[in-house]
Amino acid sequence: MTPTRAEFHVLLALLDGPRHGYGLMQDVEELSGGELTIGPGTLYTAIKRLRASRLISETDADAGRRRCYKLTRKGKSIVEEEARRLQELVRAARKRGLLPSQS
């Protein structure tokens, strides 16, 4: 499964541990350096798809009784795979002079 941009960011955010919906929205914004701001609709359609693919699962509710989500083992392997794919893309872009090469 190739995650969308929002889904990839949700998976990345969950690498640090379980999160509730609003926490995920904040983390996604922070991880993307403010470039990606997702609303509740985008967030929960992504959560639905990720749950259906067993990349995340629901975990115990937090103190505020909000539903929390955590990364599954499969989710971790998918997010690693996607990160490696992006790394290869960046390497290819550097090779062709699209991005400055690493010093």
Partner 1 sequence: MTAERIYAALLRMYPAPFREEYGGEMLSVFRDLRASRRSTPVRFWSFVLRDVFTSAARERLEGTRWLAAALFGLAATVATARLATFVYRYFYHPYFEDTAIRPLPYGLLLGIVLGLSVAGAQWVLFAAAERRAGRWALVSAVTLPVAILFCSTAVEQALDGLNPVVHIHHPLALDLLVVGFGRPGDWSGIAAQFFAMAASALVIRLAMPDLKVRRYSWDSGRHAD
Binding residues for partner 1, rule: CB under 8 A, are 1-2, 21-22, 25, 37-45, 47-49, 51-54, 57, 66-67, 74
**Taking a C-beta distance cutoff of 8 angstroms, is the pair 77, 30 a contact?**
no
When the beta carbons of 77 and 94 are compared against partner 1, the nearer one is: 77
**Minimal distance, residue 3 CB to partner 1, in Å:** 11
**Taking a C-beta distance cutoff of 8 angstroms, is the pair 23, 42 a contact?**
no
Residue whose pair of structure tokens reads 């990720």 in the numeric block: 50
**Minimal distance, residue 26 CB to partner 1, in Å:** 9
